[in-house]
Amino acid sequence: MRKKGGMELSINAIVILIIAMVVLGIGILFIRGLFAKSAEKLTTAISGQQIANPATADTPLVADREVLLSKSNPTKTVVLSVFNTGTSPAINVAVSMSNCVSGTSVIDNGKPSTPKTLDYYSFKTSPQDISANTYAGYQGIVVFSDKAKASTDNPISLESGDTIVCKLQASKESGGWGTGSADPSTTVTFTVTS
């Protein structure tokens, strides 16, 4: 009788273990799908109707010129568009941000301040293909560190009223832009608010 009871307990434990593993697997797949959908929404390309001032052949990269950036949350979405001036599709067009310079326009004694180059920031967009003579919309996420670090290793604290000027540049894997054309670029000014 004891052997039969031990066998039933062992079978029950195995059944419970199998059910637990199935539930765990379903939970992991659900959470993985949830994260994939949210990441796609975060960096998704946006349609032309959402762009107030789309890129053209004359201005192949258009972005918000001035963006307000909160001191307490230095993360912002930037809407931009890129126009392919070439006669062939531009493949894997991505937009990057570089050369970010921070500095207030005037210091205490009335002399202009020396701009400081920021090293700690990130900018994310999803690459996409752009057909010839058309534009594509992007939504970029920019994040500045609250305690940004200057290239001279001196900490820069983002203060209300500070401005940060950055260069945005589109680059492609192949095709597009036309013969001899440089990658389109523009500048964006971020103003820190309280």
CATH number, position 73: 2.60.40.10
Element holding 166 (H helix, E strand): strand 163-171
Average pLDDT of the chain, as a whole number: 75
The burial class, CB within 10 Å (0-12 / 13-18 / 19+), for 100 is buried
Better-scored residue on pLDDT, 85 or 147: 85
Cα 15 to chain centroid distance, Å, stands at: 46
pTM: 0.63
CA dist list (Å): 150 to 146, 167, 169: 12, 17, 22
Indicate the pLDDT class of residue 155, thresholds 50, 70 and 90: very low
Number of domains within the chain:
2
Contact 177, 85 (CB under 8 A): yes
Amino acid at 42: L
Residues 66 and 13 in one domain: no
Q: Report pLDDT digits (tens) over 92-124.
A: 888 888 877 776 543 434 444 555 666 567 788
Beta bridge partners of 96: 169
Domain that holds residue 26: 1-42
pLDDT above 50 (res 49): no
Q: Same structural domain for residues 109 and 31? A: no
> Of 10, 26, 42, which one is at a domain's C-terminal end?
42
